[in-house]
Amino acid sequence: MPTKGGYEKMENEFLKTEEEIVRALKTVYDPEIPVNIYDLGLVYRVDIDDRRNVCIDMTFTAPNCPAADFIMEDVREKIESIDGVESARVNPVFEPEWNKDMMTEEARLELGLL
């Protein structure tokens, strides 16, 4: 059983991995929109299990997005390239339906919506 210090180390490693995942997600773009998918609000959930498998629920600005497969594969590859991540799975979800209110203020500013 891990000691208190062991738990703290595990928590620190988890937080570091989580930060790296967010950084990686911010490098993925929809080819038609000049804002990353994270700031667009397309990432709904990031889950990391004890074996360091990552599961991401994400959506698209439109259900019939022609770049969906490309974007999901880009996400998977970038997450799996993070040191310590065992695997990544990307699940497309459409509930709740994406809307412009899900974007960060920075994304709205970049797109001229502020």
Please check the confidence at residue 75 and state whether its pLDDT lies above 90. Answer: yes
The pLDDT of residue 4:
58
79 burial type by CB count under 10 A (0-12 exposed, 13-18 middle, 19+ buried): buried
The pLDDT of residue 112:
92
Rounded CA-CA distance 61/104 in Å is 14
Confidence of residue 12 (pLDDT cuts 50, 70, 90): confident
* Reported pTM: 0.86
pLDDT, mean of residues 80-100:
95
Strands 43-48, 53-58: parallel, antiparallel or unpaired by DSSP?
antiparallel
Cis-peptide into 2, omega within 30 deg: no
The pLDDT of residue 66:
92
The pLDDT of residue 5:
57
Confidence of residue 10 (pLDDT cuts 50, 70, 90): low
pLDDT, mean of residues 45-60:
95
Rounded CA-CA distance 31/96 in Å is 23
